[in-house]
Amino acid sequence: MSKSKSISSKKKNDLVLSDTEQNTILEILHDGVTAYELAKEKQIKLKTLYNYLDRNPKFKEEFNKAQEIGIKTLVEKMCVIFNTETTGLDNNDLLFVREKKDWLKWIAPRISSLFQEKQKIDVKSDSSIRISWEEPSSDLIDVSDAQDISESNTHLQNKSS
């Protein structure tokens, strides 16, 4: 019978990154490389990378900022492609470039606040409430006497029945 591994023991595949390695990763992300491509290049599982980010919140914040800059870089790369002559592209290549453009238009606002369509909404509202009491005028009916009248009407109806 073999010994079972302890579940509580530290896993061997926990990722440990030095400051230099973290800076290298951030530079790679700035260049528009995705986390998937980064994990593949470093020969680690993507889940291992995300687990490392969860254990290191400060680096995770820098990582997310670098990914946002990476999206901006990808958009700029697409702008360069669209600014060049497309006469050398065959129809399939041109169709693929358009699909990439549409995908970037869709994904960019979801990842970076820079690309969100801002709608200016002007809502004018008066947040003050004015309450005032006025002297009773002849138009107002005093309801305090109305209760007495309704009680007497009920009493009269009970006598007549």
Residue 7 forms part of a structural domain: no
Q: Which domain holds residue 107?
A: 19-115
Three-state SS at 95: helix
Cβ–Cβ under 8 Å, residues 68 and 111: yes
Residue 134 forms part of a structural domain: no
116/58: higher pLDDT: 58
pTM score above 0.75: no
pLDDT at residue 86 greater than cutoff 70? no
**pLDDT reported for residue 58:** 93
Q: What sign for the dihedral angle of Cα 115, 120, 121, 123?
A: positive
Residue 126 forms part of a structural domain: no
What average pLDDT does range 93-97 have in this prediction?
A: 82
Q: How many domains does the chain have?
A: 1
C-alpha gyration radius of the chain: 36
Mean pLDDT of the chain: 76
What average pLDDT does range 136-140 have in this prediction?
A: 65
Residue 4 forms part of a structural domain: no
Q: For the domain that residue 87 is a member of, what is the CATH number?
A: 1.10.10
**pLDDT reported for residue 5:** 44
Residue 136 forms part of a structural domain: no
Three-state SS at 51: helix
Residue 50 forms part of a structural domain: yes
Cβ–Cβ under 8 Å, residues 52 and 15: yes
Residue 131 forms part of a structural domain: no
What average pLDDT does range 56-83 have in this prediction?
A: 85
Residue 113, number of CB atoms within 10 A of its CB: 8
What average pLDDT does range 129-136 have in this prediction?
A: 72
Residue 145 forms part of a structural domain: no
